A and B are shown apart, each in its own frame.
Chain A
Amino acid sequence: MGLLSKKDANLIKDPLADNNPITIQVLGICSALAITAELKASVVMAIAVMFVLGLGNVVISAMRNIIPSKIRIIVQLIVVATLVIIVDQVLKAFAYPLSKTLSVFVGLIITNCIIMGRFEAFALGNGLWRSFLDGIGNSLGYGIILVIVGFFRELLGSGTLFGFPVLGDPIEKTGLYSIGYENNGFMIIPPAALIVVGIIIWVQRSRNPALVEEN
């Protein structure tokens, strides 16, 4: 027997592909557009969302029997806002340059639909462990898409990965630049993320036609 039961393992596996929060549930698109111009910001945002969603799901699950239903949305908002402020303050104290890179986007985690969606749809009706796994699974699924989009946008837009030049030096014209390649400025701006996400959705549905919605 593995570490997790099959049912529990599916909580992690499903959001990675066949029930991905971005490509299938179409949630969390705003932040996928906003912060993926750099791979580093994508990775940090994914980790921040994992912390907020994993812990938030556990907190909501722990309180699920005592939360008054009339104010449950407000309670969920308070939980997510508190966790986001904690992430923001910790980044400012221990990773200041990164907190500047992410600037307003850390605050935007509050408006990330994935978080409120998982609180409402899963954590309010399930136990601590399963809610934790659901939070980790969904944030991993979200993070994978962010990293893929961030990879292509930074590579094609700036010629770098994690800030390191990998296509050569655009000024000295070395590497790919020596044969005429130019960084694509369009990849830096948010609409490029929509195109990359669209391509991922297309590839995913081509490989698994069962994911194609019927009209």
Chain B
Amino acid sequence: MAINTDKNVYTVVFAAVMVIVVGSILAFLATGLSGRINENMRFEKQQNILYAMGINDNVDEGSVNFVPTDIVEDKFSQYITEQIIIKGDQIVDNDEAYLIDMKKQLALAKKGETPELPLFIGEKEGKKFYVIPMYGKGLWDDIWGYIALDDKMIVQGVFFDHKGETPGLGANINQRYFMDDFSGESIMDGTRYAGINVAKGNNDPLNNDKEDNEVDALAGATITGNGVSAMIKETVNLYKDYLKTIRTN
């Protein structure tokens, strides 16, 4: 006997069974793969932090090449000497800073609460690096990154990434010609924590002036560029009480 698929009862039962079957398949898949996916995300974070410190596999002046995944854990433990969690100007914990969700902490700060902030301290060729994770908004979606500072608050390197900025325009925040411009810039304007502005028409397209707190903007990506400026400024402001304790000038 053929099934009457037009009955309302049949339709409801069919929909319910389908939801259960699909839900079970996806739950099984998510459970099975979550360990591997989380591990990949952790490796990516480590690669980004090391990249901001200038530890990467770049072979030319154009492309972005991270430390390979299979050795990133070793390199991370070799170069990152401390992971601390700070609250105001105090260290509240000194382990597993990488587990902290920066986006949530920024939301807490916006509500007026004191956030718990992760800070990665690395050492390369006898020099100390303070790597700060950042999170912000671009034109279409989230942007994020890492900024590595020395004890004089001079940028040693950055890494930026995005979720869905316009390909060829705002998406270029993760390109070398943009990121490399930040190296050598100071985040200080006198005694004020000024961050770094992504500026249009700043009369310094080659970015020779490292004291102006400005880098040249990406053409056609004004809002993403403004998002990068705001992200750096907001993040640095959250860390400024602690940064004062390590500043040497």
- For the residues of A in contact with B, the DSSP-based class is helix
Min distance, Cβ A183 to any Cβ of chain B, angstroms: 10
Whether A189 is near chain B, meaning CB under 8 Å from some CB there, is yes
Q: Would you call A206 an interface residue if the criterion is a C-beta within 8 Å of the partner chain's C-beta atoms?
A: no
A85 interface hit (Cβ, 8 Å): yes
B62 touching A94 by the CB < 8 A rule? no
Q: Is the CB of B33 within 8 A of A89?
A: yes
Report which of A85, A92, A189 forms a contact with B167, defined as CB distance below 8 A: A189
Is there a chain A Cβ closer than 8 Å to B91's Cβ?
no
Identify which of residues 8-47 in chain B touch chain A, using a CB-to-CB cut-off of 8 Å. Answer: 10-11, 14-15, 18, 22, 25-26, 29-30, 33, 36-37, 40-41, 43-44
With beta carbons under 8 angstroms apart, the residue of B25, B33, B41 that contacts A82 is B25
B residues 146-196 touching A (CB-CB < 8 Å) = 163-164, 167-169
How many A-B pairs have beta carbons closer than 8 Å: the answer is 71
Is A210 in contact with chain B by the CB < 8 A criterion? no
Query: Secondary structure of the B side of the interface?
Result: helix
Residues of B within 8 A of A67 (CB): 5, 14
A190-B167 in contact (CB<8A): yes
CB proximity of A29 to chain B, nearest CB, Å: 16
* Chain A contacts with B in 68-97, Cβ cutoff 8 A: 68-71, 74-75, 78, 82, 85-86, 89-90, 92-94, 96
Tell me whether A103 and B164 are in contact (CB under 8 A).
Answer: yes
List residues of chain B with CB within 8 A of the CB of A189.
167-169
Cβ contact within 8 Å between B167 and A71: no
Give bound CA distance, A103 to B41, whole Å: 14
Q: Would you call B33 and A34 a contact (CB within 8 A)? A: no
Chain A residues within 8 Å of B, Cβ to Cβ: 34, 37, 65-71, 74-75, 78, 82, 85-86, 89-90, 92-94, 96, 100, 103-104, 169-171, 185, 188-190
Q: Chain B: residues with CB nearer than 8 A to chain A?
A: 3, 5-6, 10-11, 14-15, 18, 22, 25-26, 29-30, 33, 36-37, 40-41, 43-44, 60-62, 69, 163-164, 167-169
Instruction: Enumerate the 4 nearest inter-chain pairs by beta-carbon distance, A residue then B residue, closest first.
Output: A189-B168, A96-B40, A68-B11, A93-B36
14 more contacts with CB within 8 A, not counting A78-B18, A89-B33, are A66-B3, A66-B5, A68-B10, A68-B14, A69-B6, A71-B11, A75-B18, A82-B26, A89-B37, A90-B33, A92-B40, A104-B164, A170-B62, A190-B168
